[in-house]
Amino acid sequence: MPTARRRPYTPRMSPADRRKQLLDAAIEVIARDGYSAISIDAIAREADVTRPVVYGVFDDLGALLGALLDRQENRALEQLLTVLEPGPDMRDPDAYLAQTVRRLVEIVAGDPQTWRPILAAWDTTPEVVRERIARDRELVRSRMQSLLEVGLAMRGGPEIDAELGSHGLLAIAEYFGRQICEDPDRFSADRLVAMVEGLLASLGSHK
Amino acid sequence: MPTARRRPYTPRMSPADRRKQLLDAAIEVIARDGYSAISIDAIAREADVTRPVVYGVFDDLGALLGALLDRQENRALEQLLTVLEPGPDMRDPDAYLAQTVRRLVEIVAGDPQTWRPILAAWDTTPEVVRERIARDRELVRSRMQSLLEVGLAMRGGPEIDAELGSHGLLAIAEYFGRQICEDPDRFSADRLVAMVEGLLASLGSHK
DNA sequence: TACAAATACTACAACGCTGTAGTATTTGTC
DNA sequence: GACAAATACTACAGCGTTGTAGTATTTGTA
């Protein structure tokens, strides 16, 4: 007689620990199966817990993913803006750019689990998340635009549409960011930096 | 006494016509609500038909979307490869490039309904579709790589990593392609071409 | 006009997900 | 050790989707 045994109880946790565990589980699911696979159910399974446990900590999937962003993206954005800080290095725009590219590659390659969900294509992502990523992205882009304007002025290059340019640069950065997450060896920092230096060299002399 | 009236019969169609109608409906749904909204059910509703009608024509969603690609992407890819054809114009790489950019913008702006689904971010897209787009994409990229190699040789520029370069160029092209689908006025052909010409001018003299 | 074939519709079972009410177990405290 | 609080689990109803078997309607043809 199959007595339909109860599922063994998962070890209990304080709300704080449980919260952390669930966010980790969510990251794991996204990294492994993509955004389209994310669901309260999938997270609960990943954490080896039943759904009501998840609902005890987060109101719904949107809230959970919002919290996930609080944790991951704040740090990510900070890293990014630190690297894109206009500093004294700006006196030599070419060296600054090469340096920046190297740092960016290292940031992404060093923490793909954080970056993949941010950079990866997604259309399943809940509004909440999408909006925040878009907002941060625009922040980064406008920072890039400023840098571009300053850099171009210093270099004395031609009149370039800095807005369009920043869009283009960001598009490239995001693209290679995705590639780095997928295949870090193929798109190494050295290779990318070499490319940038080659381009800069052909752009003619400084100032 | 609510007699639960039967739904009025939709006008009948030959399999061929029905097929076309359903593919059009699918395009419409994707264009309006994105890939994540696509389903046999959504297509049936859009076409004002019941699901069994759809199943009468296509085995499942994968088959339907595969057929959609047969119709849309073959034409799209052809347009693209025609523009990326290395011709006599290649003798003046700069003019060729500017010309090509203009043509590309016009192609995309002229048929956003075809291009949006190809260029748009998606992670809901069924494997079948994703794989084919990836294959076509790689075809286009390698074509770009060849052009880049030829162009660089002609221009006598520096040694540039043509593979990496083609990745970068394609990333930019796809990005602006998406923007053009969303907001054609903001990213006009003139503006993009001007940008390219500015960049080329600063790249130094021909040969 | 009546019939058979072509074509569309209804209805149902199955799946996976959400969210919640009610119940069982564990654990900290006396 | 017993009890109350904290925490986890079960079970259910609801929704939207897939895919199919059976039934109704339409339509071309005789």
Burial of B191 (0-12, 13-18, 19+ CB in 10 A): middle
Query: Which of chain C's bases lie under 7 Å from a protein CB?
Result: 7-11, 16-22, 24-27
Q: Identify the band that residue A60 occupies on the pLDDT scale cut at 50, 70 and 90.
A: very high
The protein side of the strand C contact, defined by CB less than 7 Å from any of its atoms, consists of: A 6, 8-9, 11-12, 39-42, 51-52, 55, 60-61; B 4, 6-7, 9-10, 12-15, 18, 49-53, 56
- Mark yes or no for CB contact B120/A120 under 8 Å: no
3-state helix, strand, coil in chain A (%, to 5): 75, 0, 25
pLDDT of residue A195: 94
pLDDT in tens, A127-182: 788 889 999 999 999 999 999 998 888 877 667 899 999 999 999 999 999 999 99
Residues 12-31 of chain A within 7 A of strand D, judged by CB, are: 12-15, 18
Q: pLDDT tens per residue, chain B (207 residues)? A: 444 578 999 999 999 999 999 999 999 998 888 888 899 999 999 999 999 999 999 999 999 999 998 898 888 898 999 999 877 777 888 899 999 999 999 999 999 988 988 898 677 777 788 888 999 999 999 999 999 998 888 876 667 899 999 999 999 999 999 999 999 999 999 999 999 998 888 776 444
Using a CB–CB cut-off of 8 Å, the residues of A that contact B are 34-36, 120-124, 157-161, 164-165, 167-168, 171-172, 174-176, 179, 187, 191-192, 194-195, 198-199, 201-204
Tokens of B99: 């010309």
- A175–B195: do the CB atoms touch at under 8 Å? no
Pick from A177, A46, A68: nearest CA to A125: A68
How confident is residue A97, by pLDDT bands cut at 50, 70 and 90?
Answer: very high
Closest chain A residue by Cα to residue B166: A172
**Residue A90: other Cβ atoms inside 10 A:** 15
The Cα A154–Cα A144 span in angstroms is 15
Q: At CA A120, angle to CA A119 and CA A123, rounded to 5?
A: 120
A-chain CB neighbours of B187 within 8 Å are 164
pTM: 0.88
For the CA of A14 and the C1' of C28, the distance in angstroms is 13
Helix, strand counts (H, E) of chain B: 9, 0
Tokens coding A89: 């290095």
Pairwise CA distance, residues A89 & A95, whole Å: 8
**CB-CB neighbors (< 8 A) of A187 in chain B:** 164
Nearest CA to B104 out of B196, B23, B34 is that of B196
Residue A34 C-alpha from the chain's centroid: 14
